[in-house]
Amino acid sequence: MSATPNTQQGFERLAGLSYLNPAAPEPWASFVEQIERVRPYLGSLERWIETLKHPKRTLIVDVPIERDDGTVAHYEGYRVQHNLSRGPGKGGVRFHPDVTLNEVMALAGWMTIKNAAVGLPFGGAKGGIRVDPSSVSKGELQRITRRYTSEIGIIIGPDKDIPAPDVGTNAMTMAVMMDTFSMNRGGTATGVVTGKPIALGGSLGRQEATGRGVFITAREAARHLQIPIEGARVVVQG
């Protein structure tokens, strides 16, 4: 069977990355396409295009836990450090049954671009576990989080890579990650994650930050386009 045009494009975009499935190239292929789109405007910086198309470090880990009924379950986890040229990696951890390496790589790449665009001294990273948090008990979820943290502990840290909450995770998840990393290191390391509870060194306003950012962006876009906000309808996609 010959490849469809979309599949063929996927093969081309993923050339050189043997560990990705060319039959399901998204969303990494979209990230690569965006990078290619700005190539004509980069001038002497064009030579770094290929670097952005090759993540610095990709870690896939097995996350085994003992379930409440005594059986052993295994979950697949990821941590991708796309680029650390500007500083420690920064990016969330998502717990979702449909998490894939393609997705985590793309999100790590976008974190690289976002941090650079606003001048933050961080690189781009992202992580995730293929698990539905609603399908496990609170104790099982904590054991999953601890084992995952221990497995990726070799590449994270305040001066290496700093995880944050994302889809399916929250301040409690970050507290467990911080506690696990600290125990393994032998000392408290509050800087290993962001999005922690306030009592553990978290930042005021962190929980509302994403929604506030969407609001401010929409407000400024409306001003730019001269669209009255009062009575306007909004669609949020992404």
Active-site positions read 126
Q: How many CB atoms lie within 10 A of CB 133?
A: 19
Tracing tokens 């001048």 back to the chain, one arrives at 119
Task: Reduce the secondary structure of 20-58 to three states and give it as a string.
Answer: CCCCCCCCHHHHHHHHHHCHHHCHHHHHHHHHHCCCCEE
Is 143:72 a contact under the CB 8 Å cutoff?
no
Q: Where are the alpha helices (DSSP H) in 75-133?
A: 101-117
Is 17:54 a contact under the CB 8 Å cutoff?
yes
Beta bridge partners of 59: 79
SS3 at position 226: coil
- Close Cβ partners of 102 (under 8 Å, ≥ 6 residues apart): 20, 21, 24, 25, 26, 27, 28, 29
CA distances to 97, 127, 194, 195 from 162, rounded to whole Å, are 23, 10, 7, 10
Q: What DSSP designation does 179 have?
A: H
Tracing tokens 């001038």 back to the chain, one arrives at 43
